[in-house]
Amino acid sequence: MSDKTNINSASDQIQLFEEQQIRSAWDEEKEEWYFSIVDVVGVLTEQKDYDGARNYWKVLKIRLKEEGSELVTKCNQLKMRSPKDGKLYKTDVADTKQLLRIIQSIPSPKAEPFKIWLSKVGAERLEEIADPEKAVERAVATYKAKGYSDKWISQRLRSIEIRKELTDEWQNAGIKNSKEFAMLTNILTKSWSGKTVQEYKKVKGLNKESLRDNMTNTELALNLLAEVSVTEISRAQNPKGYEETEEVTIAGGEIAGNARKELEKKLGRSVISSANARNPNLLDDLQ
């Protein structure tokens, strides 16, 4: 497999086809989606587990190679987060054209619906580049369809904007790889909530799900305060490299952490909630 794309693994996203997750990444330069082949194979073959889909693709690769297909050698590999343990591993990916050729090699009743989905995903992304408001509109529609309140959605969209400003600031400080982004996010979460990301997810009964999509309004507000604080301190102090950025991240997180402790003192209870998106109504705790 070659590695010809210039995609930062931090840009990985999860697409949904019939409620099934497909890991993907957008190449800004080529304006092209790359999809995890194993995930697509799992959807088309209706494999019950990740290992089954991976084994199917392994056998299919051998067959395609024996048939003289150049498809296998032209595929790329990107680091993507494993659905099994959450760690980053090199993963075979394909662009839309390559994926269509792979689909032709897999007998599946889902082939045609999946082709239509592929076209829609690509078209929507190009529309969002031309008009960023469309991305917001689609996000709102998706959250509403899942049962979130308008108040929660407004807070969540604001948190996405603030998160982008923070990651941009981290990049300016020299943070480039996804591992360091994840480490800083973990430090920030621990600094304000008193829990690592994994500990926090355990409280909410989560596995691969987005932590922020399962936060209450209050939790989102405190996380937002932490991220704003880190961004502003970073702009003032102009840290360089991971160690200096880590110090700034801790300092900003502690500001929100102190706010959390003061609020909990007044309320007489913890604001770290076990509520999750399985019942979105419980997340709307700001009345």
Compute the average pLDDT of residues 37-53. Answer: 87
Residue 118: per-residue pLDDT: 78
Are 76 and 23 within one domain? yes
Residue 9: per-residue pLDDT: 39
Select the more confidently predicted residue: 209 or 16.
209
Select the more confidently predicted residue: 181 or 188.
188
Are 154 and 118 within one domain? no
Q: How many helices (H) and strands (E) does the chain have?
A: 11, 5
Residue 141: per-residue pLDDT: 80
Residue 124: per-residue pLDDT: 59
Residue 159 lies in a domain: yes
Cβ count near 234 (within 10 Å): 21
Mean pLDDT score across all residues of the chain: 84
Select the more confidently predicted residue: 173 or 85.
173
The range of the structural domain enclosing residue 67 comes to: 9-130
Are 235 and 267 within one domain? yes
Residue 78: per-residue pLDDT: 87
Q: Which of 130, 159, 194 is the last residue of a domain?
A: 130
Residue 29: per-residue pLDDT: 67
What is the share, in percent, of the chain residues with pLDDT greater than 90? 39
Compute the average pLDDT of residues 68-77. Answer: 79
The pairs formed by 257-263 with CB atoms below 8 angstroms and a separation of 24 or more are 257/191, 257/192, 257/193, 257/194, 257/226, 259/222, 259/225, 260/192, 260/193, 260/194, 260/222, 263/218
Are 82 and 155 within one domain? no
Residue 224 lies in a domain: yes
